[in-house]
Amino acid sequence: MITIENLTKRYGATTVVDSVSMQIPRNSLTVIVGTSGSGKSTLLRMVNRLVEPSSGRVLLDGSDTRAQPAHLLRRRIGYAIQGHGLFPHRTVAENIATVPRLLGWDAARIAARVTELLEAFALDPASFAGQFPHQLSGGQQQRVGVARALAAGPQLLLMDEPFGALDPIIRAKAQDDLLDIRRRFGTTIVLVTHDMDEAFRLGDHVAVMSGGRMLQYGPPAQLLTRPADPMVSRMTGLADRAMRLLSLSTAGEAALPGTVDGPQVPASATLRDVLSELMWRGVDAACVTDADGTARGHLTVAAILARGRP
Amino acid sequence: MRPDRLGALLSAAGAAALFTLPFVVFKANRIVPGTPHALSDLLPAWAAFSCYALLLAVAVVALCVANPRLRLLAALAGVAVVALAVAAAGNALTPPDNKVVRVAPGAAWWILMVCLGLLGTDAITRLRPGPGRRVLLLAVALGVALLALAHGTFDHLSIMREYAVNATRFAHEGARHVALAAGSLGAALVAGLPLGILCYRVPRLRAAVLGMLNLIQTIPGIALFGMLMAPLGALAAAVPLAAQLGIRGIGAAPAVVALFLYSLLPIVANTVAGLRRVPRVTVDAAQGMGMTSAEVLTRIELPLALPVILTGVRIALVQNIGLVTVAALIGGGGLGTFVFQGIGQTAIDLVLLGAIPIVVLAFSAAVVLDALVEVMQRAPA
């Protein structure tokens, strides 16, 4: 859906983004991860032309993003940023209505959309619509920021460190919410972060950037098992790479046929969580069950450990 | 309980003034030196006694009562009593149908008014009224004062004598004063807002423009008027159309130009400061959602900068109301006319006839615009 071709950004003699090419499939959640100064934010901002590329191009569904004026392009693309960037002089409802208003929707349609989004983000419209951003908690502000970005139903949502300002517990909740939202609205998401844990937790594709260059781009497991560059293994972490790998598969995916006597674990649990549970209980095998309680198969410690190897 | 410190100071100052300084000064005509009179000489014994008793009560409240509502009430009662006492003294000292004698408030009267005014403003500060209430309070105070003046309560006092002689001119010069101050401010807004926005967008321009405006601000008013006389006079001589439009070396033209230049700094500087205060991330979000730069400016940046810009307008307006006074010297008109005429004639009452309304105008403008700024800030940052 998004094709990035040899995208480069130079400021004077400094090259911030160096000839990056990548294909981002529709409905994927792609995380661009890198240290500060790696060019990851600049790369993201070139997609909606907040930064104009020095060379190279971006295609959205095959058409060049430069084919229309930048502000019209941006109205089609959701944009959520660290510290949410809510407009302090506008209510929650007015903030969410920003892009629909720019697009000239009629009032009834805007009101219905605002209500729908507030409900989707577990914010009671009756009490939150009329509040100002400073009256909300950090987590609520962040949710309004994402709701605002999704207001006009964009196919693509760009997020720049969206959870950077949140404390760990609220951040974990916000990450879960994002996965829900993605399932619900089917939006293609490109998210920039410096947090490798966040990248592994959210991304079905992860791109690692350093010094303006894209070191590797692929499914998260590939980054661990076949790192393209020593820098990638250093950033993903060598010490706990086995545990990271286990956290990328669920019990349901790894289940062996047949059932055993032992504790029940849900199919949605990660192998890392199952292993931890087995260690804690001092047993060798667990029964994997679906959400409705029917047995799907079983897992043994040996089978789990085998999956923690490249 | 401990006596209130400010109350103690004000009571002591008021009492000292009341018993050692003249309450009114009587002059046989406008120019001659006057004879001082104490309050007790002028009023019937019962009236003088009531005045003293009431002022004593006010002093007790100022000393011992902490409730700001009561303190404000006491201050207002004191102002009313002192004002009525001087009116009564004027009536008592003026022979019937005599328009030549002058009864002017004396030093004691002014000091008492200042002490009571401070007591009142201190009480208002402690009450912390909202912006709406402050404007209402101002309106009520001005309304009562105007009613008393219209009713003729103070007609036998010297300042009102000067007013009676100059009533038509007073209305004319008062209106001109306001027109000069507000007109030059309006022109400064029309030019200063775009200039401020430009300075914000182009940082290299910012230093140059603000430096220039700062320089203008340091030129004393009268010197700037003088400096403008020559070029405007030359313009009028060279371009007949300019002369027909009323542009001349003296008169309103140099006054308006000078006031315009003085107003530019607060407006441009505050526009820049207000826009810089808008969070980067807010502007980034607005652009990222597809607002054009004009939409970002009108829907996000200017609304968020408005309280700071209004603060600049307040500074400019209050400054202008004061500076217009000097414009009288170059034929610009305004209430300053009375001030300089009074200085020329050593007629202090005529000076006050110009000066007091100027102070009231500036004070009222400050109160109203401060309230407006506070209302704007309610939409919080």
Confidence of residue B381 (pLDDT cuts 50, 70, 90): very low
- E-strand ranges in A103-185 read 156-160
pLDDT 10s digits, B321-345: 999 998 888 888 889 999 999 988 8
DSSP three-state, residue A134:
helix
Query: Minimal Cα distance from A131: which residue of B?
Result: B379
Nearest CA in chain A to B292: A71
Residue B295 Cα, gap to closest chain A Cα (Å) = 9
Judge whether A50 is closer than 8 Å to chain B, CB to CB: yes
Query: Is residue A51 less than 8 Å (CB to CB) from chain B?
Result: no
Q: Is the pLDDT of residue A127 over 60?
A: yes
With 60 as the cut, is the pLDDT of residue B380 above it? no
Cβ under 8 Å to A: B residues 362-381: 379-381
The pLDDT tens digits for B234-276 are 887 888 877 777 777 777 788 888 889 999 999 999 999 999 9
Res A205: pLDDT = 93
In angstroms, the separation between the Cα of residue B203 and the nearest Cα of chain A is 19
CA A309 to centroid of chain Cα atoms: 26
pLDDT at residue number B246: 72
Give the rounded percent of residues in chain A with a pLDDT score beyond 90. 54
> ipTM value of the model?
0.85
3-state secondary structure of A162: coil
- Residues B282, A89: C-beta atoms closer than 8 Å: no
- As a whole number, mean pLDDT of residues A7-24 equals 93
Whether B290 and A102 lie within 8 Å, measured CB to CB: yes
Q: Is B286 on the interface with A (CB under 8 A)?
A: yes
A281: contact with B, CB 8 A cutoff: no
Residues in chain B: 381
Cα–Cα dist A45/A71, whole Å? 13
Distance CA B267, CA B263 (A): 6
pLDDT at position A307 is: 87
Report long-range pairs for B14-22 (Cβ below 8 Å, ≥24 apart): B14/B55, B14/B59, B14/B111, B14/B112, B14/B115, B14/B116, B15/B59, B17/B107, B17/B108, B17/B111, B17/B112, B17/B115, B18/B55, B18/B108, B18/B112, B20/B108, B21/B106, B21/B107, B21/B108, B21/B111, B22/B106, B22/B107, B22/B108
pLDDT in tens, A23-54: 999 999 999 999 888 999 999 999 999 999 99
**Residue A243 — pLDDT band, cuts 50, 70, 90?**
confident
Position A247 scores a pLDDT of 87
Q: Mean pLDDT score of chain A, rounded to an integer?
A: 90
User: DSSP state, B300?
Assistant: I
Chain A residues within 8 A of B381 when measuring between CB atoms? 88, 134
CB contact under 8 Å between B281 and A74, yes or no, is no
Contact B206, B200 (CB under 8 A): yes
The answer to whether the Cβ–Cβ distance between A86 and B285 falls below 8 Å is yes
Residues with Cβ within 8 Å of B152's Cβ and at least 6 positions away in sequence, in order, are: none
Query: Rounded to an integer, what distance in angstroms lies between the CA atom of residue B312 and that of residue B262?
Result: 12
Inter-chain CB proximity B290 and A71 less than 8 Å: yes
Inform me whether the C-beta atom of residue A147 falls under 8 Å from chain B C-beta atoms: no
pLDDT of residue B379: 56
**Contact (CB<8Å) A86/B304:** no
A73–B379 C-beta distance less than 8 A: no
Asked if the model's pLDDT at residue B295 lies above 90, the reply is yes
Q: Which of residues 292-311 of B touch A (CB under 8 A)?
A: 292, 295, 300, 303-304
Q: For the residues B198-212, what does the mean pLDDT come to? A: 90
pLDDT at B116: 94
Total number of residues shown for chain A:
310
Residue in B290, B291, B381 nearest the CB of A88 = B381
Task: Please name the member of A76, A88, A145 whose beta carbon is closest to the beta carbon of B304.
Answer: A88
Q: Do A71 and B286 touch (CB under 8 A)?
A: no
Mutate to test the interface with A, among B289, B295, B300, B301 (most CBs of A within 10 A): B289
Q: Could you give phi then psi for residue B82, rounded to 5 degrees?
A: -65, -40
Rounded to 5 degrees, φ, ψ at A207 are: -115, 130
| Six token digits for residue A27 | 């409905």
- In sequence order, the β-bridge partners of residue A217 are A207
C-alpha A153 chain-centroid distance: 17
Residues of A in contact with B279 (CB under 8 A): 85, 88
Q: Do B291 and A81 touch (CB under 8 A)?
A: no
**Span B145-196, pLDDT tens digits:** 999 998 888 888 888 888 888 889 999 999 999 999 999 999 999 999 999 9
